[in-house]
Amino acid sequence: MSRGRAEAPERVLRGPVLWTGLTLLTLFALGPFVWVFLASLKTRADLYATPLRYLPAQLTVANYVDAWTSRLTPFSRFFANSLWVSSVTMVVTTSVSILAGYALSRFRFAGRNALLLIFLATQMFPAVLLIAPLLSQWYALGLIDTYQALIYSNLSFTVPFTVWMLVGYFDAIPRDLEESALIDGCGRFGALCRIVLPLAAPGIAATAIFAFVTSWSELLFAITFTTQTEMRTLSAGLLFMVGQYEIQWGQLSAGVMISTVPVAVLFTYLQRHLIRGLSAGALKG
Amino acid sequence: MARALTGYLYLVPVAVCLGGTIVFPILKAMHMSLYHHVLFKPQEYGFIGLGNYSALLRDATFWLTLWNSFVWVFGSVSLQFLGGFAAALLLHQSFRGRAFVRTVTLLPWIVPGVVVALVWEWLYQPNYGVINDVLLRLGVLRDRVAWLSDPGLAMGAVIATNVWRGVPFFAIMLLAGLQAIPDELYEAARVDGAPVTRRFWHITLPLLRPIVIVATATRIIWTFNYADLIFVMTGGGPANATQITSTYTLLMAYANLDFGYAATLSVVLLVVMLVFTVLYLRVTRGIESVT
């Protein structure tokens, strides 16, 4: 594309303004993380120095070791809990929404549009609204301090979004392939497993990661439905650490990094699919 | 007929999941809201009809939280939009390292809410926080400021944090919108001699309108309900300066253990949310028929 003679204001916009803007944007987004990352590597003396020391005089991993092995706030245990709760939530969410997404995409039945609308609306449901009734529900069922309570509760926000996204992915797969499989004597379910799932694999992977990451970040359910330290997830553990005693910023920063890195890595992978799903979902309305 | 039945069969698991975790709890909240139900006063438990609702209407703090919610939503969403729009325009340009900058821009949005809250608590920390330090060095401040415990500053401080968290959302939504605008339109305008500002006002803005409306509406609903940040950073304090309706609901459940009243607030949140959603669907329907 030949740009020709760009006018003066445009040259300024493309040059200095663009680069200043990009620098500011990167600083804005990354700055706070850099600060916390540095804090996690600082000794106590560096953390609480006056005047403030920006770079650690002495690098240490003690904060990570302390957070990971601490008996009061054992991040190794929190990490395992988060991993288990998020993984099971991911598997259940994906199975449930594959079936639902496939049905909504392929079958025509009464109330289909109403159902789609309900899935869209429930995506906006706040956890706050469900806290009090879910707490008394899990209490009545004896599920306080169990992984089940957290996993079931997480389904309330993962499932609506993943169903919505999967309907979109399934819609994009041509029906002809399945029809021929059906004629060849494959059942509906067989056609779903053998034809549709392999084709929709990237989309399904994206929704699965989405379910994992949002469960990993969940806070309110995790602090409400667990009371014992051994049952806390990372998010709940971080908050618990703050409430416990005078805040140990070094250990806390290490804990923050431990909780952040896995989701940051997964989301980087997910980015492309998620953005597509988001903008498509929003525009379908 | 048999086909329709199979269709419903595939929906049984999802119905069980959402029935047990959304539908039933909501009905339960409506039921709970009609009872006097304070955990540490079991002897007073009993049906009180709309008693909780009339108490709510007389509760000055509740009305304050509605106002605070308005400030919180308006402040957060408008600034997120402006920041996100600027970021989207930047990211739409082609330059080396674009993929990197784009991923970095997304970071604040993808990390857990409690992480965002704690990171910013550390930045705001009066004695060891970097914000006071930088502002003191620049001469903007003369004395250290306790951002989160000063009633006049706390709301601004939590909004600033929420803006940081929400800019990426608008950035990627608007970026998707910008990428959908055909290049030919700009080329044609350029040939006609329209300067960059004119092209922005007459091509970019009008064509972005649908996605702007959708993104803003989604964000308003979501921000109104979002409790994590404020809950962790200030707990709604100091003196309810940052208490929004959703954190007030949490406070009633966690601190006051008043489940009847918390459930009443949940029902009110539900109604507000449904009104928003209906409006949202109206508006987006309108957009679909236009585009």
pLDDT for A1 beyond 50: no
**In the prediction, which pLDDT does A31 show?**
92
Say yes or no: A159 contacts chain B, CB-CB below 8 A.
Answer: yes
Say yes or no: A7 contacts chain B, CB-CB below 8 A.
Answer: yes
Q: How many helices (H) and strands (E) does chain B have?
A: 15, 2
B253–A268: do the CB atoms touch at under 8 Å?
no
**In chain A, what residues touch B84 (CB-CB under 8 Å)?**
none
- Is B17 inside a domain boundary? no
A126–B28: do the CB atoms touch at under 8 Å?
no
User: Residue B36, SS3?
Assistant: strand
User: Residue A173, SS3?
Assistant: coil
For residue B146, CA distances in Å to A47, B143, B152, B162, B242 come to 18, 10, 10, 18, 15
**In the prediction, which pLDDT does B2 show?**
61
Burial, A30: exposed, middle or buried (Cβ in 10 Å; 0-12, 13-18, 19+)? middle
**In the prediction, which pLDDT does A97 show?**
93
The tokens for A169 are 């992915």
**In the prediction, which pLDDT does B286 show?**
61
The tokens for B93 are 């340009």
- Is B202 inside a domain boundary? yes
**In chain B, what residues touch A122 (CB-CB under 8 Å)?**
18, 22
Q: How many C-beta atoms surround the C-beta of residue B75 within 10 A?
A: 18
Please state the φ and ψ torsions of residue A135, each to the nearest 5 degrees.
-60, -45
**In the prediction, which pLDDT does A276 show?**
60
Say yes or no: A261 contacts chain B, CB-CB below 8 A.
Answer: no
pLDDT for A285 beyond 50: no
Nearest to A267 among B28, B110, B118 (CB): B110
**In chain B, what residues touch A104 (CB-CB under 8 Å)?**
11
Nearest to B8 among A109, A242, A256 (CB): A109
**Confidence class of residue A225 from pLDDT cuts 50, 70 and 90?**
very high
**In the prediction, which pLDDT does A278 show?**
57
Whats the size of chain A, residue-wise?
285
Contacts of A167 (CB under 8 A, 6+ apart): A101, A104, A105, A116
Calculate helix-pair angle for A127-140, A147-171, nearest 10 degrees: 130
**In chain A, what residues touch B211 (CB-CB under 8 Å)?**
279, 282-283
Nearest to B10 among A102, A124, A238 (CB): A102
**Confidence class of residue A3 from pLDDT cuts 50, 70 and 90?**
very low
Calculate helix-pair angle for B113-124, A249-284, nearest 10 degrees: 130
**Which structural domain range is residue B183 located in?**
60-116+161-290
Nearest to A256 among B118, B177, B288 (CB): B118
Q: Which residue has the higher pLDDT, A262 or A119?
A: A262
Say yes or no: B158 contacts chain A, CB-CB below 8 A.
Answer: no
Say yes or no: B119 contacts chain A, CB-CB below 8 A.
Answer: yes
**In chain A, what residues touch B197 (CB-CB under 8 Å)?**
9
The residue type at A230: E
- Is B203 inside a domain boundary? yes
**In the prediction, which pLDDT does A259 show?**
92
Q: Which residue has the higher pLDDT, A124 or B236?
A: B236
pLDDT digits (tens, 9 = 90+) for A130-177: 998 999 899 999 999 999 999 999 999 999 888 988 888 888 888 887
High-pLDDT (> 70) share of chain A, % = 90
In whole angstroms, what is the distance from residue B131 CA to residue B204 CA?
36
User: Residue A64, SS3?
Assistant: helix
pLDDT for A4 beyond 60: no
Q: Yes or no: say if A242 and A235 are a contact pair by the CB < 8 Å rule.
A: no
B10–A30: do the CB atoms touch at under 8 Å?
no
| A 52-111 residues with CB < 8 A to B | 52, 54, 92, 95-97, 99-100, 102-104, 107-110
In whole angstroms, what is the distance from residue A251 CA to residue A39 CA?
9
Residue in B closest to A9 by C-alpha: B196
In whole angstroms, what is the distance from residue B41 CA to residue B47 CA?
14
| A 175-204 residues with CB < 8 A to B | 188
A249–B183: do the CB atoms touch at under 8 Å?
no
**In the prediction, which pLDDT does A141 show?**
93
Q: Chains A, B: CB contacts under 8 A, how many?
A: 268
Say yes or no: B131 contacts chain A, CB-CB below 8 A.
Answer: no
- Is B239 inside a domain boundary? yes
**In the prediction, which pLDDT does A226 show?**
93
Calculate helix-pair angle for A75-106, A249-284, nearest 10 degrees: 0
Q: Nearest CA to CA, how far is B41 from chain A (Å)?
A: 16
In whole angstroms, what is the distance from residue B88 CA to residue A36 CA?
26
A134–B25: do the CB atoms touch at under 8 Å?
yes
The residue type at B281: L
B263–A152: do the CB atoms touch at under 8 Å?
no
Per-residue pLDDT of chain B (291 residues; tens, 9 = 90+): 566 677 788 889 999 999 999 989 999 999 999 988 888 788 888 888 888 899 899 999 999 999 999 999 999 999 999 999 999 999 988 888 888 888 888 889 888 999 999 999 999 998 888 999 999 999 888 888 999 999 999 999 999 999 999 999 899 889 888 888 888 888 888 888 888 888 888 888 888 888 888 888 888 888 998 899 999 999 888 999 999 999 999 999 888 888 999 999 999 988 888 888 888 877 776 655 444
**In the prediction, which pLDDT does A85 show?**
96
What is the residue whose two structure tokens read 């760009």? A6
In whole angstroms, what is the distance from residue B150 CA to residue B64 CA?
18
The residue type at A31: G
The tokens for B241 are 């300066």
- Is B274 inside a domain boundary? yes
Whats the size of chain B, residue-wise?
291
Q: Which residue has the higher pLDDT, B174 or A49?
A: B174
pLDDT for A228 beyond 60: yes
Count how many domains chain B has: 1
In whole angstroms, what is the distance from residue A41 CA to residue B126 CA?
21
Nearest to B101 among A10, A25, A126 (CB): A25
Q: What is the CATH number of the domain that holds B171?
A: 1.10.3720.10
A252–B228: do the CB atoms touch at under 8 Å?
no
Burial, B282: exposed, middle or buried (Cβ in 10 Å; 0-12, 13-18, 19+)? exposed
In whole angstroms, what is the distance from residue B272 CA to residue A53 CA?
47
In whole angstroms, what is the distance from residue A187 CA to residue A183 CA?
9
- Is B36 inside a domain boundary? no
**In chain B, what residues touch A239 (CB-CB under 8 Å)?**
114, 232
pLDDT for A284 beyond 50: no
**In chain A, what residues touch B138 (CB-CB under 8 Å)?**
none
- Is B146 inside a domain boundary? no
pLDDT digits (tens, 9 = 90+) for A26-36: 999 999 999 99
End-to-end CA distance of chain A: 36
**In chain B, what residues touch A234 (CB-CB under 8 Å)?**
112
In whole angstroms, what is the distance from residue B102 CA to residue A37 CA?
20
**In the prediction, which pLDDT does A6 show?**
57
Q: Nearest CA to CA, how far is A150 from chain B (Å)?
A: 11
A99–B173: do the CB atoms touch at under 8 Å?
no
Q: Nearest CA to CA, how far is A65 from chain B (Å)?
A: 19
Burial, B197: exposed, middle or buried (Cβ in 10 Å; 0-12, 13-18, 19+)? exposed
Q: How many C-beta atoms surround the C-beta of residue B234 within 10 A?
A: 23
- Is B256 inside a domain boundary? yes
The tokens for B145 are 């400021």
**In the prediction, which pLDDT does A100 show?**
92
* Domains parsed from chain A with CATH numbers: 8-40 (no CATH), 62-284 (1.10.3720.10)
User: Residue B237, SS3?
Assistant: coil
In whole angstroms, what is the distance from residue B277 CA to residue B271 CA?
10
What is the residue whose two structure tokens read 């926080």? B129
pLDDT for A84 beyond 90: yes
- Computed over every residue of chain A, the mean pLDDT equals 84
